[in-house]
Copies of this chain bind each other. A is one copy, B any other.
């Protein structure tokens, strides 16, 4: 593979193909984004057998560059995607991930596998991620660290523990999905007004409440009673609910005030809430956005 010669770096096409969206970037020799594209063409919109055609329709021009190397992360590697790329088991670092690439076209296009882990003790059920592993390695590189606790908030939040460049273990929390179901489909939805602005003080009230003994299944009901007794307004209740759920995630993490900063990866809206909650509990953190994906795919390409 002559292209791995640093003197003549290959053009790298980085693709993040998720459930509901498809993003791509053409990266320069040092990983800088030369051009980027985004399409509402998540894997759910692509009929079986059409992934290759959709890919070439949207990124074929970029692939014409001599020696172009394309790495695709995310749900494109799932059973419902282009082709199933078996999970790479933890502990796993860059080297293991590179060894588990699933080549769709030799030395040209590969699917990045997700990670799986089988926890210990209370975590005997397996856990999985697809796409987040690339963001994790990218964020570590951007922050110049090889050990950290990382959080990727979202519909299914991921908490990952990395030591010496290897993901040792991670856990998924259904926080975002539970928030959506509770606010839109449960009895709580009748009392809260989702059009209100985010209220930081009320959010932190929820975070505080969630640090106490007891169960989130009980605490959720307070969203109803605090409304019923006019202790919080309908517009404040979504912030309180958000605080209860994000706080529940934090409650179960063994984070000390002397820990290295937690690395948050995600949209500004979500990372700001986690950042607020972490700082409120005396914990430091730093945030990364979409650039973590490109940094991770670029670094992975350099191992090919």
Contact = CB atoms under 8 A, between A and B. Distances in A.
Interface string A98-129: 00000000000000000000000111111110
Contacts of A228: 126, 128
A10 to B, nearest CB: 35
A35 B215 CA distance: 41
A273 B226 CA distance: 31
Interface string A190-221: 00000000000000000001001111111111
A252 interface: yes
Contact of A173 (B122, B186, B218): B218
A181 B186 contact: yes
A126 B248 CA distance: 20
Contact of A125 (B172, B213, B222): B222
Copies of this chain, complex-wide, total 2
Task: Please give me the 3 A-B residue pairs with the lowest Cβ-Cβ distance, nearest first.
Answer: A122-B212, A125-B222, A172-B221
Contacts of A123: 214, 218
Contacts of A215: 173, 216, 248-249, 251-252
B217 A175 contact: yes
A217 B245 contact: yes
A128 B225 contact: yes
A221 B186 contact: no
Contacts of A185: 181, 185
B125 A225 contact: yes
Contacts of A172: 218, 221
